[in-house]
Amino acid sequence: SIKLIICYIYSYYRQTFFLFFFLSFLFVFFFFFKQKTAYEIYQCDWSSDVCSSDLDRGITQRSVALWGLMYDIQEARLIFAIRDGDGHVVGIRGRHRALGATYAKYRSYTELSPSGKDPKHYGIWFGMHFPLKKKALVLVEGELDAILVKQSKAASNVWSAMGAGISPAQIDRLKSLRVPIILFFDNDTAGDLANKGLIKELRGLMPLYRVSNYFGYKDPADLVTAKKAREALCTARLVF
């Protein structure tokens, strides 16, 4: 009968409406709110006051503000906000104050990421949110290296790979650039492998240089502390 048909249609659309409403609610909750709060780092047990031991490394208060550095109180880590080219926070990494059995030296807070992946996976370099000036781009290994080299004014354009392991997406990012690149990774086996890997991938795409003299120091941060970073960069030799 007509009445039965009307009841059936009403019941069908009522179920469809509630299903649509429920799915819309889930989408808004898990996407909008998750995205909005994923990197709300002030909600963590972190302080905006960087530990004095990190300031002793030579980081100035201006650099703390410029890079948005914070401090993980629970794990005693200097916190780096990783940003994309538009300045959006896409990752969080921390550097422990001292090596020990409890915590690893570096940690990516991937649990705060909606994707659960390290920003390196998407071709992100630490420091790439600063506009590139018409000068060579210096590539370093650690975040602290990038901060101190830029702070010392030994170089204007400095990106950190956030470790010696460089992802394919990070390499693709470099291949899209047309600026001279200076390789300034750590003066050790891992840094040497990173340099060689990048030389293999980038050779012939842009002027490519490699720092040849570290004056006995391990990394760019140590060279900045010794006031020899600029001198070391002057030893960069063109890679053929």
Would you state the pLDDT for residue 66? Answer: 92
Backbone angles phi, psi at 147, to 5 degrees: -60, -45
Would you state the pLDDT for residue 172? Answer: 97
Would you state the pLDDT for residue 77? Answer: 85
> Quick one: pLDDT band at residue 35, thresholds 50, 70, 90?
very low
pTM of the shown model: 0.78
CB 224 within 8 A of CB 148: yes
Mean pLDDT (the chain) is 82
Pairing of strands 137-140, 181-183: parallel
> Quick one: pLDDT band at residue 104, thresholds 50, 70, 90?
confident
Q: Among candidates 147, 150, 151, which has minimal Cα distance to 80?
A: 147
Backbone angles phi, psi at 116, to 5 degrees: 75, 15
176-200 confidence digits (pLDDT tens): 998 999 999 999 999 999 999 999 9
Worst-scoring range by mean pLDDT, 28-37, 51-60, 133-142, 207-216? 28-37
117-138 confidence digits (pLDDT tens): 889 999 999 999 999 988 999 9
d(CA 126, CA 137): 13
Q: Cα separations (Å) of 69 from 55, 75, 122, 145?
A: 11, 15, 22, 14
Calculated CA dihedral for residues 109, 191, 125, 147, nearest 10 degrees: 90
DSSP state of 10: H
CB 125 within 8 A of CB 161: yes
| Res. 42: pLDDT tops 50 | no
Q: Which residues of 134-173 are buried (b: 16+ CB within 10 A; e: fewer)?
A: eebbbbbbbbbbbbbbbbbebbbbbbbbbbbebbeebbeb
Would you state the pLDDT for residue 72? Answer: 83
| Res. 56: pLDDT tops 60 | no
Pairing of strands 157-160, 106-108: unpaired
H/E stretch holding 5 reads: helix 2-27
| Most confident residue range from 8-17, 39-48, 79-88 | 79-88
Which two three-digit tokens encode residue 158?
A: 């400095």
| Most confident residue range from 1-10, 54-63, 170-179 | 170-179
Would you state the pLDDT for residue 90? Answer: 87
CB 110 within 8 A of CB 82: no
In order, the DSSP letters of 17-68 are HHHHHHHHHHHIIIIIIHHHHTT-GGGSSEESS--HHHHHTT--HHHHHHHT
Would you state the pLDDT for residue 45? Answer: 53
| Res. 167: pLDDT tops 50 | yes
Mean pLDDT value of segment 141-154: 96
